[in-house]
Every structure is written in structure tokens, then in C-alpha cells.
Amino acid sequence: MKSGFIGIVGRPNVGKSTLLNAILGEKIAIISDKPQTTRNSIRGIYTDLEHQLIFIDTPGIHKPKNKLGSYMTEMATRTFNEVEVIVFIVDDSLTAGPGDRYILEMLKDIKTPKILAINKIDKMSPEKFKKTYEEYDETGVFVDIFGISALEDKNVSILLDRIKKMMPEGPMYFPADMITDHPERFIITEIIREKLLHYLDEEVPHGVAVEIESYVEGSKLTKIGAIIHCEKKSHKGIIIGKEGKKLKGIGKSSRLEIEALLGTKVFLELWVKVKENWRDSDFALNGFGYKK
């Protein structure tokens, strides 16, 4: 058995969670077209007859604007020295902006082997891919470079095979049928947060946290009560929407996905509460599970 840990790192919104879901063939990490979707490190477990690979999908590395942002960036960078392989995902040339250069400078001093995955090649011209490939290749930082489309599952299996070859002999850390070590409650809060990301305007989702207040399992029905915390009274009105329609839509789409996850009928009740500036409150961050 070969086994080990792989860190997936990159800027916000480059497709880290999409790649993890593609590798596992299951949705365990939420995705959206808004940056900073992932806030916690999500561990996905891939197991076949000869390998067990534990992928750590980290929050997007960015210049923090608050304590939550600092926590997310620190969590991502901590994985650099705790894994067997780092997969650095980009979706643009190195000269396109400072974000990728910032991460690259961090990686240069890390001894852990690094693979570059140039994502979204389905939206990239051959000329742009060639330029991007050559720019990163010239840095001498990466043991291998792949062009992939995580969304279309293109070249993901080739990347996965390369990672397998880099794994050392090791134990099976988790049962073979386990695809994540996160409890169901965590996944449920992430499902609700994903729907908020899809339903809400650009700024509001970043000021939203979801907390499970009640969870009662029954043989035919699971009752779940969840609180959506937001930072401003105006945001509360936006989340609820006119005549409560937006909150109902968030609740319905969340419930359908939670039912698929649990394999049972679900009664989901959502409340919206204002907790001002919670992203800069150590007490609130600890309460919502964002712990150092």
C-alpha cells in the first residue's frame, strides 16, 4: 500500500475544490464562481487497491483583510510542510497578476515536491497555455506540470497517476469506503453556505456563517435547524428577500441536497441573525469552527 497527504493550494477561485470533487467522483467541497468559497481545509480521501491519497483542499491564499482572512491564509500555508506533495493550481500566466507570484515565492523555499496544474485549459488558447507553461517551467520549482480542466474532468486521471507514483509506502489511514473525515453536520453547513453563495450578491456571502442549532435524526425524517449569521441588518433583509422568497429558495435547494447526502427526508428550518463584524472577532471565529 502506498499512501500519503497531498496539499491543493492556489489563489481563490482557481478550481481547487472542483479538482478535489473530480478526483473523488463525489461532491464533498462546495464550489461557486465567487472567490474564497473554501474557508476550512477540506480533506478528501481517495482509495483504490494499492493507494490511499488524502487530499487537503485549502482556502485560497490571498492578502487578508480581516481575522477570518488571516486564519484562512495561515491554514493554507501550514499544509506546505505537512504533506508529501503540493499541487499548485493556477488558471492564468505568471505575469497576469501578483497573486500567483506571491504563492510561488512561498513555495520556492519549501522542500516538499511540487506539481503545477494549469486549470481551465478548456477556456485557454493554445498560445496562452504555452506561454503559461513556459513561464512556470522556467522557475525550476516544479517536478511536473500538467494542463487540466477540473470542471470537464480533462487530464485529471493523468495528474492523479503522477501523484500516485510520488507516494511512499504507508498505512491505510481511513476505511476504504470513507471519502472525507468531516462529520455530516459540517458538510450540511457547507451545503447551506454554498446555496447562499449562489443566491446572494457579491459582498454579502463573505460576511455569512452557518451554524447548526438543532439536529434530530429519525427513522424517516431528520429535523435540522440552522442559523445564518450575517454582519449587517441590511444583509439580513437581502438574505430573507421580499416576502421571504430568497430564504425559501435557499432553504429548498439546501434541503434537496442534504436529503441526497443523508438518504432520508429532511425538515430544514433556517433563521437569519445579525452578528456584527464577526469576521474580526476571535470569539465568533472560534464559535463557528474557524480555529487555529
Segment among 146-155, 262-271, 274-283 with least mean pLDDT: 274-283
Whether residues 216 and 275 fall in one domain? yes
Question: pTM score, two decimals?
Answer: 0.65
160 and 83 in one domain?
A: yes
Quote the pLDDT of residue 174: 86
Whether 115 and 190 map to the same domain: the answer is no
List the one residue out of 119, 121, 5 whose CA is nearest residue 55. Answer: 5
In sequence order, which residues have a C-beta less than 8 Å from that of residue 140 and are 6 or more positions away? Answer: none
Residue 151 lies in a domain: yes
Residue 248 lies in a domain: yes
Q: Is the pLDDT of residue 286 over 70?
A: no
Rounded-to-integer distance, Cα 178 and Cα 142, Å: 31
Are 209 and 140 contained in the same domain?
no
Parallel/antiparallel/unpaired status of strands 221-230 and 209-216? antiparallel
The sign one gets for the Cα dihedral 129, 134, 140, 145 is positive
Same domain, 212 and 147: no
Q: Report pLDDT digits (tens) over 87-119.
A: 999 999 888 878 888 889 888 888 899 999 999
* Same domain for 194 and 155: no
- Burial of 260-282, coded b for 16+ CB within 10 Å and e otherwise, reads eeeeeebebebebeebeebbebe
Q: Say yes or no: 201 and 87 in one domain.
A: no
Domain membership of residue 201 as a residue range: 184-287
